[in-house]
Amino acid sequence: MKILSRALIFAMLLWGVSASAEYCKYDDAGILRSCTYNAVEGLKGTRFVVSYTRQGWALTVAIYVEEFVMLEGDARVKIRGHEEQTIEYVSTTRDIAPDDLVMEAAVFKVSEELLLQLADASGKVKFYVPALEAEELEIRVQSVQFKELADYVAETKAAVGL
């Protein structure tokens, strides 16, 4: 009876991890599908999405503007109390949002260290994203938008077995 009850408790704990996951999504068979963190703030509802890929951590900066601004190239990030850092550009996706704004989503490769710095930041975080027409967009974000990033990183690492 002890073995059966322990096995049942163990099975409930395993099931509970996927059922209580806040950032990672699983399919009906319990197979991990994705882990993402969303933050909305900044220039005209800029959206920041952090995800984990086979190549490492990715930060997507999606902006909504009236005309294309062509976000392409490495960006810079300035967090209070830390030196300015450059984040590597990967690609950009463009689309038209339902409200007729142009959505440009630039994807950058970031380090886990940077993500944890964002989680511990206070005040504003500044992103300098290269834009073809405007040369550079400065996007200021309240650091509170990233306060749960450490939890996201921990859950993602546990889910993918890092």
Chain segment 114-144, per-residue pLDDT in tens: 999 999 998 889 999 998 776 788 888 888 8
Chain segment 40-62, per-residue pLDDT in tens: 765 567 889 999 988 899 999 99
Residue-level pLDDT at 40: 74
Please compute the mean of the pLDDT values over residues 91-98 and round it to a whole number. Answer: 89
Residue-level pLDDT at 4: 37
Sorted by where each starts, the structural domains of the chain and their CATH numbers stand as: 35-160 (2.60.40)
DSSP labels, 62-127:
EEEESS---B-S-EEEEETTS--EEEEEEEEEEEE-TTS-EEEEEEEEE-HHHHHHHHH--SEEEE
**Comparison of pLDDT for 65 and 50, the residue scoring more:** 50
For residue 159, pLDDT over 70 is answered with yes
Is residue 41 within 8 Å of residue 145, measured between CB atoms? yes
For residue 29, pLDDT over 90 is answered with no
**Residues forming a β-bridge with 62:** 47, 105
